[in-house]
Amino acid sequence: MMKFNIAQLVHGKDGSAVLIEEVALRDYLMEYVVGDNLFGLLNWVHRDWMYSVRWGPEDPEFGFAEKSLGAKLFSLAQWTAGGFGAYRKARRVAQFPVSYEWVREHMPDAGWPWDGTDDNE
């Protein structure tokens, strides 16, 4: 099985970091190629009227049935967006913290939160 390393710039409550993960080519393709494209297709197909095709009671609090074509298609779209769970198969190789200044210098197009703009803009 062919494996390779992917480096990502990540941001969390502890600040910014460069994360390096080892991932199998098969899992990468499932998550980013198949998952993203199928997610886009499912969201394009998914329409509000599909929630009226149901085989269970409608939830009065939320106004739709969990057992409906719309709800199941939404769940399927969310599952494909994650590459069918492929993201869970990556192995963390390394993670090292980086400063906002380092990001601005080496990755000037990184965008928010490294570009200094407010997240509410």
Domain annotation covers residue 116: no
Separation of alpha carbons 23 and 45, rounded Å: 31
pLDDT in tens, 36-67: 777 777 767 767 788 888 898 888 887 778 88
Report whether 9 contacts 18 (CB < 8 A): yes
Residue 60 lies in a domain: yes
* Residue 16 covered by a domain: yes
Q: What amino acid occupies position 95?
A: Q
Q: What band does 19 get if pLDDT is binned at 50, 70 and 90?
A: very high
| 119, part of any domain | no
Length, in residues, of the chain:
121
Whether 57 is in a domain gets the answer yes
Question: Could you give the number of structural domains in the chain?
Answer: 1
- Is residue 120 a part of any domain in this protein? no
**Alpha helices, DSSP H, located in 1-121:** 25-28, 36-45, 69-81, 100-106
Tens-digit pLDDT profile for residues 78-97: 777 666 666 667 899 999 99
Q: Which domain holds residue 31?
A: 3-106
Task: For residue 36, tell me if it sits in a domain.
Answer: yes
